[in-house]
Chains A and B, each alone.
Chain A
Amino acid sequence: MSEATPAVEMRGIVMRFPGVLANDHVDFDLHAGEIHALLGENGAGKSTLMNVLAGMYRPESGTIRVHGRPADLRSPRDAIKCGIGMVHQHFMLVPSQTVTENILLGLDEPRFRMRLSYYEGRVAQLAQDFGLHVDPHCKVWQLSVGEQQRVEILKMLYRGANILIMDEPTAVLAPQEIEDLFRTLRGMVAEGKSIVFISHKLGEVMQIADRVTVLRKGRVTAAGLRPADTSPVEMARLMVGRTVLFRVEKEPQPPGEVVLAVENVSALNDRGLPALRSISFQVRAGEILGVAGVAGNGQPELAEVITGLRRCSTGQVLVQGKVISNHPARIAIDGGVGHIPEDRREVGTAPNLSITNNLILKSYRKAPIGKGLSIDQAKAEQYASGLKAQYEIVAPSVGTAVRFLSGGNLQRVILAREISEGPGLMIAMQPTRGLDVGAIEGVQRMLLELRRAGTAVLLVSEELDEITCMSDRVVVIYEGQIVGEIPGDACDAERDRIGLMMTGQHRDGAAQPGQQENEGEQSGGA
Chain B
Amino acid sequence: MAVRRKSLGSSLSPATALEFRGVSYRVGGNLILDDLSFQIEPGRTLILLGRSGSGKTTALKMLNGLLFPSNGQILVENRATTDWDLIQLRRSIGYVIQEVGLFPHFTIGENVGLVPRLQGWPPDRVAARVAELLAQVGLEPSQFLNRYPRQLSGGQRQRVGVARALAAEPKLLLFDEPFGALDPVTRVELQDQFLELRDRLRKTSIFVTHDVREALRLGTEIALLHRGRLEVLTTPDEFVKSEGPEARAFLSTL
Co-complex (A, B): no
Residues of B within 8 A of A (CB): none
